[in-house]
Homo-oligomer: A and B are copies of this chain.
Amino acid sequence: MDLLSLKLIAARLEGLEETIINKLVDRAQFKVNSAVYEPGRSGFTGEPEKSLFELRLLYQEEMDARFGRFSVPEERPFTTGLPGPRRMVNLPGSGLYCRNFDLVNVGAEIRSSYVGLVPAICPPGDDSQYGSSVEHDVIALQAISRRIHYGALYVAESKYREDPDGYKRLLADGDMKGVLEKLTRKSVEEKILERVREKVEHIQARINTEVRTCIDSGAVLRYYRDSIIPLTKKGEVLYLQNRME
């Protein structure tokens, strides 16, 4: 199996897309609950400054670190200084060439873009389901991050291999705008956006809206267009800048 075939990578990205949509729909069963994103309102003893969302993300990543999650190239943490894994993770070679995968981490931007997405998909207001809200936030956020970093690493390596000399020239000139342009496939991006909109609409078409909140397909499309795709490309450029010969 060639991990770097663009067709295979595109298929994996499409699969992760459905996971993201499922997780956003599950989050939207709770109201926005903006208090969970406000620093100092977590209600946690001994944590006067962080928000409940920040704390949940921190605890989740500490647990995941022990399980070896961040040994996987596309799993980049939001938190720094995490503990090491308590288990050996045996994964097949990635085919990637990178000094340090932490140099290809757009987590901070993913996180702030996600917090901006919440009011666009969840019903307004407060239902006091704070624990469930941040639980689902973190699950959704991790799925989005996996998709972005997977794309950043594998798409970049795959495209690089199509024309190493072309990329090397641009990189040597420090022409990052040129690298970004060379990586961009406008028609592929448009296809993804259309597919995302259709999927969000289709999986919700027969939902009983008396018992279940639907999310706006336009909001997910815009999130893909304005955050997921640009951050993936930003990660691609970072990967190529840090690619090891």
Contact = CB atoms under 8 A, between A and B. Distances in A.
Contact of A86 (B23, B45, B60, B203): B45
A80 interface: no
A101 to B, nearest CB: 16
A90 B35 CA distance: 13
Contacts of A199: 206
B211 A206 contact: no
A106 to B, nearest CB: 21
A21 to B, nearest CB: 9
Nearest to A208: B14
Nearest to A7: B210
A212 B21 CA distance: 13
Q: Quickly give the copy total for this chain.
A: 2
Given A88-B43, A202-B206, A15 B131 contact: no
A212 B87 contact: no
Contact of A22 (B15, B26, B52, B91): B26
A82 to B, nearest CB: 14
Interface residues of A, number: 53
A216 B91 CA distance: 28
Interface of A: 11-12, 14-15, 18-19, 22-23, 25-26, 29, 42-47, 52, 55-56, 59-60, 63-64, 66-69, 72, 86-92, 128, 130-131, 134-135, 139, 198-199, 202-203, 205-208, 210-212
Given A59-B67, A68-B131, 19 more contacts: A14-B212, A18-B212, A19-B26, A19-B29, A22-B25, A43-B87, A43-B88, A46-B86, A47-B86, A55-B67, A59-B63, A59-B66, A60-B63, A69-B135, A92-B128, A139-B139, A202-B205, A202-B206, A203-B203
